[in-house]
Structure 1
Amino acid sequence: MGKVGNLTNYHSHSLYCDGRAGMEDFVRFALSEGFTSYGFSSHAPLPFSTAWTMEWDRMDDYLSEFRRLKAQYAGSIELYLGLEIDYLNEESNPSVRRFKELPLDYRIGSVHLLYNDRGEVVDVDVPADAFRKVVDGHFGGDLERVVRLYYKRLMRMLELGGFDIVGHADKMHYNACCYRPGLLDEPWYDELVHAYFSEIARRGYQVEINTKSYHELGTFYPNERYFSLLHDWGIRVQVNSDSHYPERINNGRPEALRALKRAGYETVMELYGGKWKEMPILF
């Protein structure tokens, strides 16, 4: 089978957050694979320290290292700088001034965290077995409540704005289905997802097809069952690998592009010359 086109990626993590290699390692691997456009999106700082987010005191280094790489590899590959910014609360989300003032090419908006009844921050972006313990230990085993809280936060993030790309749009679906098989076919869940994508379409956000877990878990985020819906509603998409390791920057991309073609998509969004452009899906 021939080499698949559309070799781009705008969701990746390096040693500035929870990635496993330096920024230049990702650039060099992208070049070796024939990528034409590549972007970094470290996890943005939160109001407290974590093992997976950047600290504010690293931000200047992040910006300057990117500028160095962009200059060094000019003419070989187009490099872009972003952040993956969490909606945590009204004071910490993609729309706040501190994030908006950063000299970034784009911003990804995501939700990884919920609050439990005691006001404690709980990470729900964890493996399925850990997710089960979170639901049982922090939310009394009420999966529906957890899912509704998650989508409520996603909807608020859409309302506040400050970002370009919706990150791993329905990532909880995998863990929730492991907790309760058949969830995706339950009417209340389907209603939540449709309302969510309807709002994305109304506000004009791009949606990434996140391929990070495709080889391991056999799913994209959002789930492939919604690709036709996204197409019918005119939602622009891009394919990103959410890579934490250089060798995984192309994981799942060919499969995602084929799935998008099956759903009716003819183009995906890519950054060239500093502008988002609709580019044909090539094989």
Structure 2
Amino acid sequence: MSRSKNLTNYHSHSLYCDGRASMEDFVRFALSEGFTSYGFSSHAPLPFSTAWTMEWDRMNDYQAEFHRIKEKYAGKIELYLGLEIDYLNEESNPSAARFRELPLDYRIGSVHMLYNERGEVVDVDVPADVFRQIVDKQFGGDLEQVVRLYYGRLRRMLELGGFDVVGHADKMHYNAACYRPGLLDEVWYDTLVKEYFEDIAARGYQVEINTKSYHDLGTFYPNERYFPLLRSLGIRVQVNSDSHYPERINSGRPEALRALKQAGYETVMEMYNGVWQEMPIVL
């Protein structure tokens, strides 16, 4: 297997959560695309049921199926097992013992949900038109409050730890900028995001360049405008497609690699032999 083309992906979903195909379907497609290293990161269980997260009673099946296909495709592709774990609250987050005890190769830490003033959980990882309704109806139209809540939870997740990779680091930027055009140039917002990345750098986390929305919305997570900042802070990055469909595992990867190169990056992080390694960017 040649490892010279940066054909890897570690943010991937399957039928164990809200993915649209089996683990093996993803692996077979990854092989057809020439991938050399691939990881699964189903949405970890939450304290309540959702349409998009795995349930705890599927965890043993998730691990068993992974090990079956890992053995089946040994020598053809390196496969790794992870989870995308939400920071929900102080009891349910990547640092919780129940997640730490799982025999995983890596963990992605993400935020998808906030609490409104009534203490109700609100999913803010939604299309822009739905996000607008949520801000208006759940948070009284106070976009700044929503943004600060979001970054506050991200910072708390960094503080608690228990994961390796920050998932879609500033994903809210697209919806927030749709709600209020020009937001990304407002000083308070820019300061908030820069302090967040400085915190990531100080704690040594990797950041994924999430390409899921690039072809649909024209943006990466984090926003490409911050790539030079990440580089100057010495933050290690990996390129992931957050794929829910096998045919999209390579979506946006070449564009992300070019953008990273333009920002001064020479390497990306990839996992081989069970270890994160810096691999040269090859365009």
The TM-score normalised by the length of structure 1 is: 0.99
For residue 121 of structure 1, report the CA deviation from its aligned partner: 0.1
Partner of 2:237: 237
Runs of 4+ in 1 over 3 A off after TM superposition: none
Partner of 1:70: 70
Partner of 2:113: 113
Partner deviation per Cα, 1:145-171 (whole Å, 9 max, x = no partner):
000000000000000000000000000
Partner of 1:259: 259
Letter in 2 for 1:211: T
Query: Is the partner of 2:268 in helix, strand or coil?
Result: strand
Letter in 1 for 2:173: H
- How many percent identity over aligned positions? 84
For residue 5 of structure 1, report the CA deviation from its aligned partner: 1.7
For residue 184 of structure 1, report the CA deviation from its aligned partner: 0.4
Partner of 2:144: 144
Query: Is the partner of 1:184 in helix, strand or coil?
Result: helix
Within 5 A, what are the aligned runs for 1:219-238?
A: 219-238=219-238
For residue 233 of structure 1, report the CA deviation from its aligned partner: 0.4
Q: Structure 2: 5+ residue runs without aligned partners?
A: none
Within 5 A, what are the aligned runs for 1:93-104?
A: 93-104=93-104
For residue 229 of structure 1, report the CA deviation from its aligned partner: 0.2
For residue 110 of structure 1, report the CA deviation from its aligned partner: 0.1
Aligned length: 280
Letter in 2 for 1:107: R
Query: Is the partner of 1:79 in helix, strand or coil?
Result: strand
Mapped to 1, the partners of 2:201 and 2:21 lie a distance apart of 35
Partner deviation per Cα, 1:200-224 (whole Å, 9 max, x = no partner):
0000000000000000000000000
Within 5 A, what are the aligned runs for 1:1-283?
A: 5-283=5-283
Question: How well do the aligned residues superpose, as a CA RMSD in angstroms?
Answer: 0.6
Mapped to 1, the partners of 2:82 and 2:188 lie a distance apart of 34
Q: Structure 1: 5+ residue runs without aligned partners?
A: none
Mapped to 2, the partners of 1:250 and 1:160 lie a distance apart of 32
Query: Is the partner of 1:282 in helix, strand or coil?
Result: coil
For residue 256 of structure 1, report the CA deviation from its aligned partner: 0.1
Mapped to 1, the partners of 2:69 and 2:97 lie a distance apart of 27
Partner deviation per Cα, 1:230-250 (whole Å, 9 max, x = no partner):
000000000000000000000
Mapped to 2, the partners of 1:210 and 1:20 lie a distance apart of 18
Query: Is the partner of 1:54 in helix, strand or coil?
Result: coil
Mapped to 2, the partners of 1:132 and 1:225 lie a distance apart of 24
Mapped to 2, the partners of 1:103 and 1:26 lie a distance apart of 21
Mapped to 1, the partners of 2:134 and 2:85 lie a distance apart of 23
Partner deviation per Cα, 1:64-86 (whole Å, 9 max, x = no partner):
00000110000000000000000
Query: Is the partner of 1:38 in helix, strand or coil?
Result: strand
Query: Is the partner of 1:254 in helix, strand or coil?
Result: helix
Mapped to 2, the partners of 1:151 and 1:106 lie a distance apart of 23
Mapped to 2, the partners of 1:190 and 1:19 lie a distance apart of 33
The TM-score normalised by the length of structure 2 is: 0.99
Mapped to 2, the partners of 1:184 and 1:253 lie a distance apart of 24
